[in-house]
Amino acid sequence: MKFFLLILLLLPLGVRAEILSTERLATNEKIVVEFTSAGDHDFFGRFYVIRGPAPATFFAIDSGLALNNGHVERRSTEEIGNKTLTSEEATGIDCLLVYLRRNLPGNPTFNDRFKVEYFRGEQKIGEESFVDRTGIERGFYLEEGKLKPKKEAPADFPPNVYRAIVPFSILEERVKYASRR
């Protein structure tokens, strides 16, 4: 609950769409994220779908985008898997979105693009788009099952919210790990 209130306080005033909280998704609500990552020698895409009710279910889907001999090509999409989110993971997604809304400066040699759509039933009720050059998707690692940031929070970002972030890439790894068991 503390994080939810802090998240509301950190929303930029310019957000005009209705947004949903991963922690509070209702039965008929979902969040769809289209993610593409482009770097010097790397390009790939994913779809992440989070469906209510709480505890929400997270789905990871390979969008079929890939780099082949310097050209982007599209293959067929393929579901990677799904998992039920813990309350910490749901909070972590909300914290990640707060971070992305800040549009912090970073490394210009790569960028990650996020298109986040919010649905109630089949009707889209909001949309946000972000370009992240800070590497937040690559900024965390697992150590003995615990999620740890590779660096400290940016100076103008609350450290407790930063430490609570759970990147989609970590959730995808957890989905892959669970499917191998």
- Nearest CA to 175 among 65, 61, 56, 95? 61
Residue 154 DSSP symbol: P
Q: What is the dihedral of CA 27, 92, 102, 63, to 10 degrees?
A: -70
Out of 5-19, 27-41, 62-76, 118-132, which region has the weakest mean confidence (pLDDT)?
5-19
Q: How many CB atoms neighbour CB 90 within 10 A? A: 23
d(CA 117, CA 119): 7
d(CA 125, CA 102): 21
d(CA 107, CA 164): 22
41-45: average pLDDT? 73
Quote the number of domains for the chain: 1
SS3 sequence of 17-60: CCCCCHHHCCCCEEEEEEEEEECCCCEEEEEEEEECCCCCEEEE
pLDDT in tens, 52-107: 998 999 999 988 766 666 666 777 778 889 999 999 999 999 999 999 999 888 87
Q: Taking the model in full, what pTM does it have?
A: 0.84
Q: What is the CA angle 94-166-39, rounded to 5?
A: 105
d(CA 44, CA 73): 10
User: Does the structure show a pLDDT above 70 at 148?
Assistant: yes
**Domain carrying residue 73:** 2-180
Cross-strand bridge partners of residue 43: 38
